[in-house]
Amino acid sequence: MLMAAVATVGTMRRTRTAAVKVAAGMAACLALAACSTDAGVVAIRSERLATESTESAGETPPSTTDDTGSPSSTTPSSTTEAPTPDTREPPRPDLPTELVPVGDGAGDGLFPDLGNPGIDVVDYAVEITYDPLSDTVSGSVTLVIDVTDDRTEFTLDSAGPDIERVQVDGQDATFEEDRVELRITPAAAVDAGSRIEVTVEYSVATESVQSDIGLPNGWFNTTNGSYVLNEPDGARTWLPSNDHPSDKASWTFAITVPSGVTAVANGSLVSSQDSAGGTTWTWRQDEPMATYLVMLITGDYELVEGVGPAGLPLVSAVLRDDLEQMQPYLDTIDDQIAFFEEWFGPFPLAGYGIAITDSFGGLAMETQGRSLFSRDDFSGQMGFLEELLLSHELSHQWFGDAVSPAQWSDIWLNESFASYAQWMWLEHVGLSELDQDAERALAGRQDGMGSPTISPSVDEMFGFNSYEGGAVVLHALRRTVGDDAFFELLRRWAADNYGQSRFTADFIALAEEVSGDDLAAFFDDWLFADRLPSTFP
């Protein structure tokens, strides 16, 4: 289907899928040094990149631990600082297993405005025109919504768009732009259990905004195009939506750009049609996707087609001038997917690819089915940073995209997992050793700095304790339950929860089910504690 569709477009290029062996670590270190001066995500990553790579570990599997499966209760896992189990306050707060809406929000503790009670979006059709001269987006979004409460009004998240008209089931609705909410009152009340279609016509002057996480997000205009980076709260700045990871939907994007410009979104290309107004690029993503995982880039892109393991369709987007420079990265996708499939189970989506945009360096995002990177981080050499970024975002397709966090405080379910996967890949290609990475990260958790991995503040969400500082939780879990149960758990986490949004409580329950162990004490010590044990189980 995809192949047939893209063939009609005429701009596709077939890539080689041969494996590319990695370059020595030196170039990677240089790349890191350059990168660590950039703002944004790199600030987070620089911590984990602080050490140099090691000698090749060859093709050995990323398994370096003993596999005794000893339960945590029999494992001396604490330093002298850790209080004894009898005297300490239990660090585990009541873990939610569902969201309780508050006001106009879904009930997210970190982002109370995000999400909207009473609605469950089933499908989005985004039909917008981007004018790169005036940097404006105009058009509409049509949402198919299952109503979950009897409502006379409901809200969408919208923080910036200028709303021109709202229709519910083809009838004009009254609406109010109420700070970060678009409040919609349909002509007639809607009942729980009904399915409605809501069309919002709007325009917006596109610009990125500073998120409370301390990094900009939303819509970025570039010299010759644009990209979006929505995580965690940027989608609402250019797209009226139910902007919370607990609500996943299927998506169609029809993006009109001046002729000669390419627009790329998630999913597979349905058509590209020229008209007087430019070219409309239509992409369809059938698999459930949260708003924060939307990818939308425009510019002078070439679509590069390939084939991954078991015929998996690959479609990447590379700036036309960068084609040669980016070939090594296109060539490694197949190997990386095959490697992770071995450990995490079959690639969970219908296709994959990478998109390399002209953003600020250090930007890397697991946009669903096609991860987004910055050309500044991809010099043409395959070095440590490139391997790290490519593997990290690819692994998110299992951990974050197939199964998403149900609330933002559960971000470790994304970032700690992707950090662990990145360690596995870096060891696989001989650029570091997983045990050493884990020891180094654990050493970084000895000062008790920052909130526990389970409960980051907004500005800690993308910080150390969510990334490598949280990956140590997984390493400790692996040591505790053994390799077989650990990887069975990861496979089942992605597969059983495909298309869903889940809480940490769900992960703990599955970990206990798969291992057969009571892991309460384990998670108290590793996930809920601020100061971690000094040695792994």
CA distance 409 to 458: 8
Q: Of residues 243, 366, 427, 524, which one binds ligand ARG by CB under 6 A?
A: 366
Binding mask 3-42 toward Zn ion (x if CB under 5 A, else -) reads ----------------------------------------
CB of 392 to ligand ARG, least distance (A): 6
Residue 362 contacts ligand ARG per CB under 6 A: no
**Span 381-420, contacts to ligand ARG by CB under 6 A:** 392-393, 396, 418
- Give backbone dihedrals phi and psi of 398, rounded to 5 degrees, phi first: -80, -45
Nearest residue (beta carbon) to ligand ARG: 217
- Locate the DSSP E strands across 290-353: 296-299, 301-307, 313-319
Q: How far is the CB of 485 from ligand ARG (least distance, A)?
A: 26
How many Å from the N-terminal Cα to the C-terminal Cα in the chain?
A: 49
- Interface with ligand ARG, residue 49, by CB under 6 A: no
Min CB(262)–ligand ARG separation in Å: 24
Backbone phi, psi, residue 350, to 5°:
-80, -15
Subset of 220-279 contacting ligand ARG (CB under 6 A): 229, 231
Asked whether position 377 contacts ligand ARG by CB under 6 A, the answer is no
217 binds, among Zn ion, ligand ARG, none (CB under 5 to 8 A by kind): ligand ARG
What is the enclosing helix (H) or strand (E) of 405?
strand 403-405
3-state secondary structure 239-282: CCECCCCCCCEEEEEEEEECCCCEEEECCEEEEEEEECCEEEEE
User: Is-contact 291 230, C-beta < 8 A?
Assistant: yes
Pick the stretch among 191-199, 260-268, 361-369, 492-500 that binds ligand ARG (CB under 6 A). 361-369
Position 173 contacts ligand ARG (CB under 6 A): no
Minimum distance between the CB of residue 364 and Zn ion, rounded to whole angstroms? 7
Q: Is 355 in the site for ligand ARG (CB under 6 A)?
A: no
Report yes or no: 137 and 162 within 8 Å, Cβ to Cβ.
Answer: no
Nearer to ligand ARG, 48 or 445 (CB): 48
Q: Taking a C-beta distance cutoff of 8 angstroms, is the pair 320, 300 a contact? A: yes
Q: Give the x/- contact pattern for ligand ARG in 469-508, rule: CB under 6 A.
A: ----------------------------------------
From candidates 418, 431, 454, 476, binder to Zn ion by CB under 5 A: 418
CA pair distance 373, 364, nearest whole angstrom: 5
Single out the residue of 357, 321, 317 nearest to residue 333, CA to CA. Answer: 317
Q: CA-CA distance, 304 to 288, in Å (whole number)?
A: 24
Judged by CB under 5 A, does residue 402 bind Zn ion?
no
Q: What is the C-alpha to C-alpha distance for residues 187 and 1, in angstroms, rounded to an integer?
A: 40
Q: What is the DSSP string of 60-102?
A: --S--S------GGGS----TTSPPTTTSPP--PPPPSS---B
**Region near ligand ARG per CB under 6 A, out of 26-34, 61-69, 319-327, 360-368:** 360-368
Burial label for 307, CB within 10 Å (0-12, 13-18, 19+), is middle
Among 364, 406, 413, 481, binds ligand ARG (CB under 6 A): 364
In eight-state DSSP terms, residue 374 is: E
Residue placing its CB nearer to ligand ARG in the complex, 209 or 520: 209
Contacting Zn ion within 151-190 (CB under 5 A): none
DSSP-derived pairing of the beta strands 162-168 and 171-172: antiparallel
Q: Which one of Zn ion, ligand ARG, none is in contact with 427 (Cβ closer than 5 to 8 A by kind)?
A: none
Residue tagged 């306050």 (tokens): 89
- Residue 272, beta-bridge partner list: 281
Amino acid at 286: D
**Interface stretch with ligand ARG, choices 29-37, 56-64, 141-149, 364-372 (CB under 6 A):** 364-372
CB 366 to Zn ion: min, Å: 6
Closest CA to 205 of 159, 161, 241, 240: 161
Which residues are within 8 A (CB) of 345 and not within 5 positions of it... i.e. 6 or more apart? 398, 490, 491, 494, 495
Residues 192-221 that bind ligand ARG (CB under 6 A): 215, 217
**468 in contact with ligand ARG (CB under 6 A):** no
The stretch near Zn ion (CB under 5 A) out of 55-63, 78-86, 124-132, 409-417 is 409-417
Q: Which does 40 bind (CB under 5 to 8 A by kind): ligand ARG, Zn ion, none?
A: ligand ARG
List the structure tokens of 68. Answer: 């005794």
CB of 393 to Zn ion, least distance (A): 7
Stretch that binds Zn ion, among 160-168, 348-356, 415-423, 486-494 (CB under 5 A): 415-423
Q: Give SS3 for 289.
A: strand
- In the complex, the residues that contact ligand ARG under the rule CB under 6 A are 40-41, 215, 217, 229, 231, 364-366, 392-393, 396, 418, 462
- In the complex, the residues that contact Zn ion under the rule CB under 5 A are 415, 418
